[in-house]
Amino acid sequence: MALFKIKRYGANAAPPKPKSKTREWTDSLVFAIVAATLIRWATFEAYTIPTPSMEDTLLVGDYLFVSKLHYGTITPQTPLQIPLTHQTDPIFHLKSYSDLIQLPTFRFPGFSSIKRNDVVVFHVPFELEFPADLRTNYIKRCVAIAGDKLEIKDRQLYINGQAAPNPAGLQSKFFIRIPEANDEVVAAFRAQRVVDYQQPNGDPVLSEVPGYGLGYEVDCTPAVAAYFRQQPYVKEVIAETIPAGQPEINQAVFPDNPDYPTTINFPGAPGLHHWNKDNYGPISLPKKGETVELTADNALLYYKVILRYEHNEGISMQGGVILQNGKPLKTYMFKQNYYFMMGDNRHDSLDSRFWGFVPEDHVVGKAVLIWLSINPYADFLHKVRWSRLFQTIK
């Protein structure tokens, strides 16, 4: 008995009907969506820079390519989602995924490990309302890798006891004091690319600040600050640094705020480190396979890691002691590597200083290239920052 028949078209047989235009367009659209989804997941993805947290390295309006190949493509945790969306659809802004199915993730081999000073895109860890692979994407510089000891003293970053090299575009806050209002300083701000993104025109605001006097509080590089020190219309340029032992005014830094952003520990609260953005640590980063002794001194530091990122059951904390199934956990071996991410705009960046370590399974890829840059404050003829096109990211 024949299992199948071969159709033969004779001279009088009708040829197969051609596809309709609708069918051709549908097939092409499906193919394009599938291809774009695979490319976006496995190789490169385009991102834009919406905030100044990485200035002066990356500017608001930069368009980037992020490589998934460097660190290895990671399989999706949430398979049920509309292709080419993230959290919501672009038209109606409705939820574009279902968390009914959550899968364990696997990272394919890459051709590079995560290194210090890499500019990295990752899923921000503190957004517990989303699955890990659908949390908001942040871009920061990896300043410390698993196993490192990190400390910040008077703005300067130290890794394993050695002063870390500062990125060329490193920014922080300075107060530029002037004797009186003048147009020269505003023109100089524009020429030196000093921008206040909270203002409609981007110009810094002149104000009278107690203890400083009349002037402008700006984010800029040390080189730009040195330029203003030489100008005759500037009285003084002051580097704003929070002294050691003085906590942040509005929000305690990690690990004093274990449930960021829902908890706020106010200055003067007992039992806290009272670190700040400029004087922070020392702090040791968890490393895969490393075993640590859990004490009252490091319980806050590692509790969130053990509870949320290591996928353990029965974890709680009581009286500064980490418990598993009600029994004290005396030692713990980490299941994955963790990283410390900071923005190059050190005083205007929400980063690991506030919400802690970034787990390796939250890392998306390495930022490699600026392919377009748009100045949001320029006129039409000067909108494109031509000098930034096709720059590699360092």
Residues belonging to the active site: 53, 140
SS3 360: helix
- The CA–CA distances, whole Å, from 189 to 186, 216, 219, 241 equal 5, 10, 11, 22
How many residues can be counted in the chain? 394
Please give the single-letter amino acid code of residue 43. T
Distance of CA 68 to the CA centre of its chain: 15
Question: Residue 131: how many CB atoms within 10 A of its CB?
Answer: 19
- In angstroms, the CA 288 to CA 310 distance is 11
Residue with tokens 């002063």: 163
Q: Please report which residue ranges of the chain form alpha helices under DSSP H.
A: 21-42, 183-191, 222-229, 299-304, 352-355
Alpha carbon distance 103, 15 (integer Å): 47
> Taking the CB of residue 288, how many other CB atoms lie within 10 A of it?
13
Task: Check: CB of residue 335 under 8 Å from CB of residue 361.
Answer: no
Distance, CA of 132 to CA of 125 (rounded, Å): 7
What are the residues whose beta carbons fall under 8 Å from the beta carbon of 293, sequence distance 6 or more?
A: 330, 331
β-bridge pairing 327-328 and 156-159: unpaired
